[in-house]
């Protein structure tokens, strides 16, 4: 075992093991949008989680390596889009470095408050940034919901949630449920 790395030479590092462990841990997919002032950004995230119901607080993380993070750092409100399998192309667009996320070929709009929004997604939450917490090579954003748009629960067809697992996109459906 080497003192500097904490692992045995020739074996995977803790970082490699950490990545491997989380490759097998599926997560929902979202897109975070915002605009610090005439410069909209969008980034695909798989770290969205609810924190509190009263008040309605959620969180996500953003890597310092993302080209959108400097804009996010200058933004006070964001829109977190919760994606369904129907939104796969949008998820790919937000994950592709250098892609045109607000071009003519993308259906987007602005809320009355100015934030960019993809109105056709499953659900979205407009939120104000409460805290930015540095965490290694990322920042954890703790945000409070201001406006929420979800589909009508009475709708007969709820789209399958979009999930990211082991570097691939998946749709959860009735066939993926485990009988009780």
pLDDT digits (tens, 9 = 90+) for 81-124: 999 999 999 999 988 887 889 988 899 999 999 999 999 999 99
pLDDT of residue 172: 87
Rounded to whole angstroms, the Cα distance separating 29 from 170 reads: 10
Q: Can you tell me the distance from the alpha carbon of 133 to that of 32, in angstroms, rounded to the nearest whole number? A: 17
Residue 133 lies in a domain: yes
Question: Percentage of residues in the chain with pLDDT exceeding 90?
Answer: 63
The C-alpha atoms of residue 85 and residue 141 are separated, in whole angstroms, by 25
Return the CATH number at 92. 2.30.110.10
Nearest CA to 94 out of 110, 75, 79 is that of 79
Look at residue 177 and tell me if it is in a domain.
Answer: no
pTM of the model: 0.88
Each residue's pLDDT tens digit, 119-129: 999 999 999 99
List CB contacts of 178: < 8 A, sequence separation 6 or more: none
Kindly state whether residue 63 falls inside one of the protein's structural domains: yes
Task: Confirm whether 5 is domain-assigned.
Answer: no
Q: Is residue 40 part of a domain?
A: yes
**103 in a domain, yes or no?**
yes
**Residue 154 pLDDT grade (very low, low, confident, very high; cuts 50, 70, 90):** low
A 10 A CB-CB count for 162 gives 24
Note whether residue 98 is domain-resident: yes
User: Where does 24-80 have alpha helices with state H?
Assistant: 69-73
Residue 79, domain extent: 27-151
């Amino acid at each position: 075992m080497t003192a500097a790395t904490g692992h045995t030479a020739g074996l995977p590092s803790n970082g490699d093991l950490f990545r491997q462990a989380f490759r097998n841990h599926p997560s929902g997919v979202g897109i975070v949008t915002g605009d610090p002032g005439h410069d909209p950004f969008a980034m695909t995230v798989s770290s969205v989680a609810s924190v509190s119901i009263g008040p309605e607080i959620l969180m996500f993380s953003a890597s310092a390596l993302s080209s959108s993070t400097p804009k996010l750092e200058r933004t006070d409100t964001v829109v977190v889009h919760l994606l369904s399998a129907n939104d796969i192309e949008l998820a790919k667009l937000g994950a592709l470095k250098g892609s045109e996320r607000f071009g003519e070929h993308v259906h987007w709009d602005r809320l009355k408050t100015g934030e960019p929004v993809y109105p056709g997604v499953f659900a979205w939450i407009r939120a104000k940034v409460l805290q930015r917490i540095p965490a290694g090579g990322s920042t954890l954003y703790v945000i409070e919901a201001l406006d929420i748009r979800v589909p009508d629960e009475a709708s007969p067809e709820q789209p399958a949630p979009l999930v990211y697992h082991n570097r691939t996109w998946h749709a959860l459906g009735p066939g993926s449920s485990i009988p009780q």
